[in-house]
Amino acid sequence: MRTRLRWLIFVGTAGLVVAALWWRTSRMATSVETALVVRGTFEESLVEDGRTRVRWHVDVTAPVAGEWNPAALRVGDRVTAGRELGTLTAALADPASQRQVAAELGVAEATLTAARAAEAAALAAESEAARALGRAERLGTAGGVADEELDRIRTIAVSRQREREAARARVTAAEFGRDAARARLPGGGGIVRVNAPGVGVVLRVDEEHPRVVPAGTPLLMIGALGALEVVVDVLSTDAARIGVGVPLRVLVGTDTARGRVLRVEPVAHTVRSALGVDEQRVSVIGALDDSTARLGHDFEVRTRIVLGTRPGVLIVPSGALVRDGDAWSVFVVDESRRVHASRVTLLARGSDTAAIEGLAEGARVVVYPPEAISGGARVSW
């Protein structure tokens, strides 16, 4: 009897311990991150790293061989159109080479004539685009033009302006080539003045000290920081969904610079990803509406390209979605702070948020649920 009694006491005690452990475990809460389901406008977008560049820039090179005497310019210095960047003391051509130099002068003058004609055509196109933009803005005020069409016309006007600026720079470059050929002929003086082709900022100085340089040597780069664009390489499958004129945003510290897609290049290139996988990428070029002083040439930036919007949909963090076979589920927290899996319909997904159907507005969901979590588990946040 005593042995049996001891055995019963032992079994009873063990059962109480197990029951206590189960009770405590069932009441322990797993700490998780949660978020509320909200209704609003979902913005479907692509987020990629990009880099900035100036829309207008000129690589100034030595037009002739000679001794280069640079002006005292450093990176970041502003220059005006026609400012002297330095001089080249060109060696006069010998009699045997004078005929070749005379031919080069003829080519330079023909190139200058063609550049001036192209500038006149670019100026006419810019004027026409400006008039079209003016008409569209007047109609837009009266509600006669959709915002998307107005944005497209505005993007075309900006593009025509940049094309005219580029044509002006080509005229200046052609004038340099003509003057350089003249300097090598007898009576040309032998001094070639290298001037700034337009208003801009010195972006790079290649030759800082006097020395003899051959023709074609890079001397410096000048560009206009007030007209920045951003270049983003996206997957070719995503590039097919991007249209000219769609909005884009560039994150600059805590600020955001806004712009629009100017063009999508029609040729893809192969890029090796960080995982060693070859990807076909397409360069998307966007024009910034409001350039910021924090940005410069060739800066790396985080860019968001807006593909479309869905108003009045339920929005949850992308991290709340859990793959459930061929469908999607989320863990919903009830009033007793226990979770249960609920299937949802995925409408669209972005890098941060997703648009869904199948939940109630205001429901609380678990974000990045732990692998050990299951239906009925108690959670805290």
14 belongs to a structural domain: no
Confidence of residue 100 (pLDDT cuts 50, 70, 90): low
304 belongs to a structural domain: yes
pLDDT for 350: 80
Tokens 């249960």 appear where? Answer: 340
Number of structural domains (the chain) is: 3
Confidence of residue 168 (pLDDT cuts 50, 70, 90): confident
150 in the same domain as 89? yes
CB 150 within 8 A of CB 136: yes
240 in the same domain as 180? no
Confidence of residue 12 (pLDDT cuts 50, 70, 90): low
Judge whether residue 355 has pLDDT over 70: yes
Kindly state the greatest CA–CA separation across the chain. Answer: 133
pLDDT for 11: 64
Question: Could you give the CA distance from residue 195 to residue 83 in angstroms, rounded to a whole number?
Answer: 5
Q: Which residue has the higher pLDDT, 16 or 135?
A: 135
pLDDT for 372: 76
Q: Residue 38 belongs to a domain with what CATH number? A: 2.40.420.20
88 in the same domain as 215? yes
Task: Give the amino acid at 195.
Answer: N
16 belongs to a structural domain: no
20 belongs to a structural domain: no
318 in the same domain as 264? no
- Pairing of β 278-288 and β 300-317: unpaired
CB 264 within 8 A of CB 239: yes
Confidence of residue 139 (pLDDT cuts 50, 70, 90): confident
211 in the same domain as 239? no
66 in the same domain as 35? no
Share of the chain above pLDDT 90, in %: 25
Among 41-55, 70-84, 166-180, the minimum mean pLDDT is found in 166-180
- Residue 239 belongs to what domain range? 45-53+227-309
- List, in order, residues 6 or more apart from 161 with CB less than 8 Å away: 126, 129
Question: Could you give the CA distance from residue 66 to residue 89 in angstroms, rounded to a whole number?
Answer: 5
Question: Could you give the CA distance from residue 27 to residue 18 in angstroms, rounded to a whole number?
Answer: 14
74 in the same domain as 197? yes
CB 341 within 8 A of CB 330: yes
* Domain finish residue from 309, 324, 341: 309
Tokens 């966007």 appear where? Answer: 286
* Domain finish residue from 309, 335, 356: 309
Among 8-12, 247-251, 255-259, 349-353, the minimum mean pLDDT is found in 8-12
pLDDT for 53: 87
215 in the same domain as 273? no
280 in the same domain as 206? no
Tokens 């051959």 appear where? Answer: 214
174 in the same domain as 69? yes
Share of the chain above pLDDT 70, in %: 86
Confidence of residue 88 (pLDDT cuts 50, 70, 90): confident
283 belongs to a structural domain: yes
**100-109, 140-149, 287-296, 335-344 — which one is most confidently predicted on average?**
335-344
pLDDT for 303: 92
CB 106 within 8 A of CB 161: no
Number of Cα atoms under 13 Å in the Cβ half of residue 364: 13
Question: Could you give the CA distance from residue 175 to residue 117 in angstroms, rounded to a whole number?
Answer: 14
For the segment 276-328, what is each residue's pLDDT rounded down to a tens digit? 889 999 999 998 876 555 788 888 889 999 888 889 999 999 999 998 888 99
212 in the same domain as 118? yes
Helix (H) or strand (E) holding 211: strand 211-213
Contacts 24+ apart (CB under 8 A), 322-326: 322/369
Question: Could you give the CA distance from residue 117 to residue 163 in angstroms, rounded to a whole number?
Answer: 13
pLDDT for 72: 87
For the segment 249-283, what is each residue's pLDDT rounded down to a tens digit? 888 777 788 888 989 999 999 988 878 889 999 99
Contacts 24+ apart (CB under 8 A), 164-168: 164/119, 164/122, 164/123, 164/125, 164/126, 165/55, 165/56, 165/198, 165/224, 165/227, 166/56, 166/122, 167/115, 167/118, 167/119, 167/121, 167/122, 167/123, 168/119, 168/197, 168/198
21 belongs to a structural domain: no
Tokens of 41: 């406008």
Helix (H) or strand (E) holding 171: helix 147-183
The mean pLDDT value of the chain amounts to 83
pLDDT for 361: 92
359 belongs to a structural domain: yes
Judge whether residue 38 has pLDDT over 90: yes
* Domain finish residue from 169, 203, 223: 223
376 belongs to a structural domain: yes
Judge whether residue 210 has pLDDT over 70: yes
End-to-end Cα separation, the chain, in angstroms: 53
116 in the same domain as 214? yes
Judge whether residue 1 has pLDDT over 70: no
